[in-house]
């Protein structure tokens, strides 16, 4: 009675907490039937259950059955066996089951560090030479960014930071949401992060490793502000993307290009938040918190004077040289960036003038955070600091709370009937470029509702989306490199492609399923036409299999929060 491994049994390949929901999804035509939870040698059955039917959705076209073994709570290693289908990958049930993923997701940022060698001591077999070590005194001001004080060709220093994604450029807008999300993870769960060790060069100093890692990018961001007027350059970039080479071989000329309102406000928000977070570490970093606040204030003032400077790359290229063809992160609505920056500055300084400078609630929309829409980052911050709000904001708090909770309730609608029983996948529009970050950001929104209500159902719903990311999805992949029996192996990530090592750099979140605009990368290896299956684990697929810092950051938040809350 030996069964075979079946990839049609989909589950969180990392595992489950003893006292949390546990679900596996079986893909296929059959109806009903029993499932068995067994020891990995298949010799002992520890739990028997009945498979539940689901309705195949609008775009999730394949029928599924659900094996719910939540009741079983004994720690150990197991497989799920389904007669006529086979058995699942082995997985564990244990406390702190996501600890390693939580640490690895932050360590993923270490592997993205610019301007420094990654020695074997910290980077293991993915050790490598520094890239762009000469970003000190080697960056040119692009014609689009020329000013009297800094004419085109002026040489600047702007070292450090993280590579944005599979490419080697550094973009302020995308750093903005990334940093805001990581600093929020710290602000929401400081106790957890104070003990999480990452084995990075700064480990062992009196600062939590997460904040040491964040500082690597913060220091770069500070260099992107023009000291003469407070405006912030949109990005530091090559004219065109590099080939698939290691960082140390990427030697194209780098420019800072155009100041813009989006970059400047995102910068202001991050600096204001960083200022209050690093204030507690003044002894280790004297002056840092003050410098951040000064930078934030100057950026805010620039944006007041320049409220609508759009980064329009095509228009820029018509006017200025050389042409820049790397990621645009172009946005033309800055109302949400104003909201976010105002909220951060208000909470850090306690000055009502920031709060009243913007219309915090211009409409009832609750857009899921993305690099182009950061309104909710501002709302989360106001909610997080509800105890510090002055009367002007306090009077809005009931409304804010109501909207955040209603937003989470709305996300949860229908999740328990869906084929994969996840919040992710309510609508086809969840499967955009970087859809894994949609799942993770939904998780954060749910956890914010938990923080406001103490209702555990929101944590469980967030956990469902973590299960999605780690394998309980229509592709059957765990989208986190290095975690799961069938995880992303070939991300569109230059170091992972060029380093000659079979395993990709670990702890990176693949962008995942992308049903939008029909496979923008034209990779030939996509196999399915279904919206929730449009993913290919191929490094040609920058539209479904790149990694990016703004996707890893919400993974860090989600998995860290889940770990922190399960420990309670």
Residues that bind ligand 9MR (CB under 6 A): 164-165, 167, 327-329, 433-434, 542, 546, 548
Q: Which is nearer to ligand 9MR, 464 or 541 (CB)?
A: 541
Q: Which is nearer to ligand 9MR, 167 or 430 (CB)?
A: 167
Q: Which is nearer to ligand 9MR, 40 or 330 (CB)?
A: 330
Cβ partners under 8 Å of residue 128, min gap 6: 117, 118, 246, 247, 248, 495, 499
Strands 254-259 and 139-141: parallel
Minimum distance from residue 225 beta carbon to ligand 9MR (Å): 22
Q: Would you say 145 and 258 are in contact if contact means Cβ atoms under 8 Å apart? A: yes
Q: Which is nearer to ligand 9MR, 165 or 389 (CB)?
A: 165
Q: Would you say 39 and 80 are in contact if contact means Cβ atoms under 8 Å apart? A: no
Q: Which is nearer to ligand 9MR, 331 or 563 (CB)?
A: 331
| Conformational region of residue 233, where left means phi above 0, alpha means psi within -120 to 50, and beta covers everything else | beta
Q: Which is nearer to ligand 9MR, 260 or 434 (CB)?
A: 434
Minimum distance from residue 548 beta carbon to ligand 9MR (Å): 4
Residues noted as catalytic = 167, 492, 537, 546
Nearest to 523 by CA among 498, 497, 548, 544: 544
Q: Which helix (H) or strand (E) holds 46?
A: strand 45-50
3-state DSSP call for residue 558? helix
Cα separation, 8 vs 293, whole angstroms: 52
Cα separation, 94 vs 353, whole angstroms: 49
- Written as six digits, the tokens of 540 are 């040609």
Minimum distance from residue 555 beta carbon to ligand 9MR (Å): 14
| Burial (Cβ within 10 Å: 0-12, 13-18, ≥19) of residue 29 | exposed
Distances (CA, A) of 412 to 367, 461, 498, 533, 551: 15, 7, 41, 21, 21
| Burial (Cβ within 10 Å: 0-12, 13-18, ≥19) of residue 250 | buried
Minimum distance from residue 375 beta carbon to ligand 9MR (Å): 17
Q: Which is nearer to ligand 9MR, 131 or 327 (CB)?
A: 327
Minimum distance from residue 279 beta carbon to ligand 9MR (Å): 32
Minimum distance from residue 437 beta carbon to ligand 9MR (Å): 8
Which residue shows structure tokens 């990581």? Answer: 182
Minimum distance from residue 331 beta carbon to ligand 9MR (Å): 11
Query: How would you write 29-40 as a 3-class SS string?
Result: CCCCCEEEEECC
């Amino acid at each position: 009675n030996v069964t075979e491994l079946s990839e049609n049994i989909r589950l969180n390949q990392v595992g489950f907490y003893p006292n949390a929901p546990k679900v596996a999804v079986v893909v296929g035509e059959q109806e009903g039937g029993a499932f068995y939870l067994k020891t990995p040698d298949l010799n002992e059955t520890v739990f028997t259950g009945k498979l539940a039917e689901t309705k195949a959705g609008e775009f999730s076209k394949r029928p599924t059955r659900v094996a719910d073994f939540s009741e079983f709570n004994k720690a150990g290693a197991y497989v799920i066996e389904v007669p006529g289908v086979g058995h699942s990958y082995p997985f564990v049930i244990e406390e702190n089951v996501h600890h390693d993923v939580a640490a690895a997701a932050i360590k993923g940022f270490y592997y993205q560090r610019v301007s420094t060698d990654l020695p074997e001591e910290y980077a293991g077999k993915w050790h490598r030479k520094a890239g762009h070590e000469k970003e000190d005194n080697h960056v040119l001001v692009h014609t689009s960014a020329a000013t009297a004080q800094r004419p085109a060709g002026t040489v600047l220093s702007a070292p450090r930071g993280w590579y944005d994604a599979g490419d080697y450029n550094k973009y302020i807008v995308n750093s903005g949401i990334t940093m805001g999300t990581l600093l929020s993870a710290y602000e929401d769960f400081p106790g957890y992060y104070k003990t999480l060790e990452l084995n990075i060069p700064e480990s062992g100093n009196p600062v939590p490793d997460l904040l040491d890692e964040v500082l690597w990018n913060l220091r770069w961001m500070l260099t992107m502000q023009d000291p003469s007027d407070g405006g912030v350059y949109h990005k530091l970039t090559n004219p065109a993307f590099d080939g698939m080479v290691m960082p140390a071989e990427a030697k194209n000329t780098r420019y800072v290009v155009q100041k813009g309102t989006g970059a400047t406000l995102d910068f202001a928000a991050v600096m204001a938040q960083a200022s209050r977070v690093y204030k507690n570490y003044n002894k280790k970093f004297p002056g840092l918190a003050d410098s951040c606040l000064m930078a934030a204030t100057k950026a805010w003032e620039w944006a007041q004077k320049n409220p609508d400077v759009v980064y329009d790359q095509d228009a820029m290229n018509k006017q200025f040289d050389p042409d820049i063809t790397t990621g645009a992160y172009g946005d033309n609505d800055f109302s949400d960036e104003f909201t976010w920056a105002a909220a951060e500055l208000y909470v850090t300084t306690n000055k009502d003038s920031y709060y009243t400078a913007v219309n915090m609630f211009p409409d009832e929309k609750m857009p899921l955070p993305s690099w182009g829409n950061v309104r909710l980052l501002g709302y989360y911050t106001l909610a997080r600091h509800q105890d510090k709000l002055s009367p002007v904001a306090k009077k809005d708090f009931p409304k804010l709370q109501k909207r955040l909770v209603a937003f989470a309730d709305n996300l949860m609608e229908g999740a328990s009937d869906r084929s994969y029983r996840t919040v992710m996948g309510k609508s086809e529009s969840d499967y955009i470029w970087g859809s894994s970050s949609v799942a993770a950001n939904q998780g954060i929104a749910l956890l914010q509702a938990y923080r406001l209500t103490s209702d555990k159902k929101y944590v469980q719903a967030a956990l469902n989306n973590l299960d999605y990311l780690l394998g309980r999805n229509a592709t059957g992949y765990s989208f986190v490199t290095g975690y799961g029996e069938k995880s992303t192996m070939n991300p569109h990530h230059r170091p992972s492609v060029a380093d000659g090592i079979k395993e990709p750099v670990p702890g990176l979140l693949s962008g995942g399923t992308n049903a939008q605009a029909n496979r923008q990368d034209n990779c030939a290896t996509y196999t399915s036409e279904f919206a929730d299956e449009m993913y290919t684990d191929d490094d040609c697929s920058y539209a479904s299999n790149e990694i990016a810092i703004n996707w890893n950051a919400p993974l860090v938040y989600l998995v860290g929060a889940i770990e922190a809350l399960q420990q309670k």
